[in-house]
Each structure stands twice: as structure tokens, then as C-alpha cells.
A = this chain, B = another copy of it.
Amino acid sequence: MDPRAQEIDRCLKAGTLPESFEVAGPRNPVFFDPGKVTAAIVTCGGLCPGLNAVIRSIVLQLQHRYGVRKILGIRYGYQGLARNAHETPLSLSAEVVEDIHVRGGSILGSSRGAPAASEMLDSLVRMGVDMLFTIGGDGTMRGALAIHDEIKRRKLPIAVVGIPKTIDNDIPFVRRSFGFETAVHIACEAVHAAYTEAVGVENGIGLVKLMGRESGYIAANAALATGHVDFCLVPEVGFKIEGPDGLYELLRERLRRRKHALILAAEGAGQDYFARAERPRDASGNVKLGDIGTLLKERLPHLFQQDSIPVSIKYIDPSYIIRAAAANPADQVFCNRMAQYAVHAAMAGKTGLLVGYWHGRMTHVPLRALGSEKQRINPDGELWQNVLETTGQPPAIG
């Protein structure tokens, strides 16, 4: 482990800012000549609220603040940088992006996976691109780093700046990621619906599956926000369905007392119930998770039936509705600021970095600093204690 990696590792554990990170902001002098610059923007991976807001703010900042006139919107993610991409880039301007931020999705489209870095760089060079803004998650940032390394190898003056996208809020050095609050907001509507269904029948059980592959932030916040959740299941805290203190027994007791119950499960919760071997990977390289929602939806009624207790379970999976939502105002603010700093960085000739938000400051995080680690809920920390107090569930289930 080189000294820099050691420093980053130490800071991640201590919750402090590595000295090798810079505070983000405008720089003098500007490296690129705005009148000659060609910028490009690409959005990758699954949809997330705020993509259009980030695109819009990058375009407005480039055009209005720096006077850049040539901005390309790469279609359908990194696939739009393939040698034989089907679609030519969009030409972006203040006029084109005027109202896009109030709509969900990405006007550029997205995709998973990526061509080889050298192939993508060939496309960028062919398009005359001087700076590339990549918006996406882990895999996207690894792709950006690969392009950046290839640029260095070829000694080209092209800047690569990442804007981290993770609806799960799980990227280190990014305290809060854009789209996260909107995701919680929409998730709460699904939780309210499940609660309404649960109290609407005798022994009604509402079950909602939310995003959160390795980190249960959305579920934890939805539990805190709605105040209706009885069991919040997250990847960071294991649980057992059966056994004396397992979910089923707790649920049975809850129904006996209150006639209804509400379970919230992050998609990455309870993965012990699935054989690791069976799981393939998607085009982004993510392991496909076992479907904890469907497992609970089937297993729990089965257990109640064995005990001759009539229950009615209503299962809601709002994932696509959440992903496709437009950013709420708090996320709009955040997207706007992230984009402004990304443009400052690129125009100053900074490269190989992503814009992070850490300890209340916008910072430049070297792409290389991103390892495979995730930001996760600390089961002994404030957030999870607040969740336990709100749901009334025991610290350990089963």
C-alpha cells in the first residue's frame, strides 16, 4: 500500500479529509480556452433522480460562466463512445436544457458496461473532445479512471471529471449523493401506501422492498421519516426469519398486539438466504442479488399458515418509480452545486478526479482513491440507534 492509499484508508476510518484532497472551487488561471473547448457529458448506469439537473447545470455553467459553446451529449452511456455507436451525440446548449431538470431520467439515455478505454478515447479524440464529464456510479468511475490513464499514456490534454451517482448513497468521501433525498421522498409514498394497506385489513402485513444493495440508507431514512415501520432490514445488520427471536416470532407478537405490521427491506438485506454461487452479474459487473422481497412475501405467509393464523400480505416494490422521479428541490440544489464545481475543476485543467461532498465541503477526490469499499450504516452509530428507537425493533433479529 503506497503512502497516499494509506492516508486515504486512515481518513476513511477516522472520518477526516485526506490532505491529498483539494477543496473544490473556481481557479485562476483557467487552463482551457473557452472559445475553443469542446466538452462532452455522459450518463451511465441505472437512472437516478437528478441526472437531468446535473446535465443542465454543467451546460449552463460552461456556457454562461465560461463562454463554452460546443457541448456534446453522448447518447446511451459509455456505449455511445463505442466505435460503432448507433447514435450521434446531441448538441447541447442553454436552450436545449432550459426545462429538463424538472423531468426524471436522462435526456442522454444511459447504459451499463463500457467498451475498452482505448476505444472510448478514440471516439473522444475523433469528436474533438477536450473535457469529459462522466456521471455514474462505481463502475462508471472505474471506466473514467481507465480513460484517464489512457489519456496520460497518450499524453493528451483531455480532462476527465466525474460526478458520483449512487442512489444508495454508498460512495466513500461523498457524504450525501444526489438523488438520495428524492429517493427517500418517493420511497416514503410507497411506505405510506403499504401502511394504509396493512391497517386496512385484520392482520395486514405491508412489505416494501427498497434500493440498497450494500447500504441501507434509503430504508433507514424512510423508516425515520414515515414513523410507521416496525421492522427495517438492511444489508449492514443480519437477521433470521425463523427461530425464537426471529422475524416471524416478532411479527406474530406484533400482529397479536396491533393487528397490523410494516416491514421495510433494503434489497441487499438477508442475502445469507441465497446461495452465493447461483448469482450472475449484470452488465455493470454487479452481482445479481437474491430477491429478499419475494422471499419474504412467500415465506412469511407460509409460516403463518402453519400456525393457522390468517394474514394478508401486501408487497410493494417501487424501485422503478423511485429511479425515474425528477429531483426534489433539495437535490436540485445539490446537483446544481456539484455541476458548478465539476466545471470549475475541468476548466482549471484538473483531471482524474470526482467531485465529492465531505465534511460540509465540496472537494476533489482523486478517481484513484475510490476503492471497492462502500460507505455503509454503522450499526453502533447515531443513525441506526435512531432507527431502532423509531421502529422499536430489537438490535438483533433472530
Contact = CB atoms under 8 A, between A and B. Distances in A.
Contact of A196 (B47, B199, B222): B47
Interface residues of A, number: 72
Contacts of A224: 332-333, 336-337
Interface string A335-364: 011001000000000000000000111100
A262 interface: no
Interface stretch (A163-171, A269-277, A382-390): A382-390
B202 A109 contact: yes
A201 B110 contact: yes
Interface stretch (A27-35, A53-61, A242-250): A53-61
A114 interface: no
A102 interface: yes
A318 interface: yes
Given A101-B227, A104-B193, A109 B200 contact: yes
A21 interface: no
Given A185-B330, A202-B76, A324 B225 contact: no
Contact of A222 (B106, B110, B328, B329): B329
Given A340-B390, A361-B382, 16 more contacts: A104-B196, A105-B200, A109-B200, A109-B201, A111-B201, A184-B330, A188-B329, A189-B321, A193-B325, A194-B324, A197-B324, A222-B329, A224-B337, A314-B320, A315-B320, A337-B386
12 contacts: A56-B227, A76-B201, A86-B202, A109-B202, A110-B200, A188-B332, A193-B323, A200-B324, A224-B336, A226-B329, A328-B328, A340-B386
Interface of A: 25, 47, 53, 56-57, 60-61, 64-65, 75-76, 79, 86-87, 99, 101-106, 109-111, 181, 184-185, 187-190, 192-194, 196-197, 199-202, 221-222, 224-227, 314-316, 318, 320-321, 323-325, 328-330, 332-333, 336-337, 340, 359-362, 382, 386, 389-390, 392
CB-CB nearest 8 A-B residue pairs: A105-B196, A225-B329, A193-B324, A196-B324, A225-B332, A224-B333, A188-B329, A193-B321
